[in-house]
Amino acid sequence: MGDGLSGIAPLFGGTAMFAFLYWIATGYNLWDIPLDAHQNWQLLRPDWPWWTLIFAPYLILTVTSELWPSRQDWTGARWFMVGLCTCLLLALGLLWYTNHLARVLSLSTFMASRIDFALVVLVVLDLLFLIIAELTARGVRH
């Protein structure tokens, strides 16, 4: 269990750091919806300094590029993740069987709707960066 938790620790620590750096960059929390009175999306909080957008996106991409566990981390976390996924599937099955799944899904939908557009853009950019880096690394090895 210790190897599993230490293997997936970058996911949790990096996600917390991402939320902090996002706040530094924009002045908004991840769950804030930055819309003005006319329902236009605002990038920065009105009284937030503009220069934070100079360095914060670089730091965000740097931190999020290291979120993916290494091969050694996956080796240690493999059985932990299998057990965790099995427990989650059993919990979902129990919620479905007791007819509470709809309530949990509506709560999950509400929470997911609070994720801001910038978070989605950064996650997509990070996934694109990870794919390019992985393909480049595989190309260099072969």
Mind listing the pLDDT tens digit for each residue in 55-76?
777 887 777 777 777 777 777 7
21 C-beta neighbours (distance < 10 Å), count: 22
* 138 HSE (CA, 13 A, CB side): 6
Nearest alpha-carbon partner for 14 in 136, 122, 132, 135 = 122
State yes or no: pLDDT of 87 exceeds 90: yes
The domain containing residue 81 runs over which residues? 2-141
- Summary mean pLDDT of the chain: 77
Higher pLDDT, 1 or 55: 55
Asked if residues 28 and 45 have their Cβ atoms less than 8 Å apart, the reply is: yes
- pLDDT band for 140, please (50, 70, 90 cuts): confident
State yes or no: pLDDT of 137 exceeds 80: yes
Check residue 38 and give its pLDDT.
65
Number of domains in the chain: 1
Tell me if the pTM is above 0.75: no
User: What span, in angstroms and rounded, lies between the C-alpha atoms of 14 and 60?
Assistant: 9
Nearest alpha-carbon partner for 126 in 21, 46, 42, 24 = 21
Higher pLDDT, 126 or 104: 104
Query: Quick one: CA torsion of 118, 119, 123, 125, rounded to 10 degrees?
Result: 10
Q: pLDDT per residue over 13-48, tens digit each?
A: 777 887 888 788 777 776 666 655 566 666 667 777
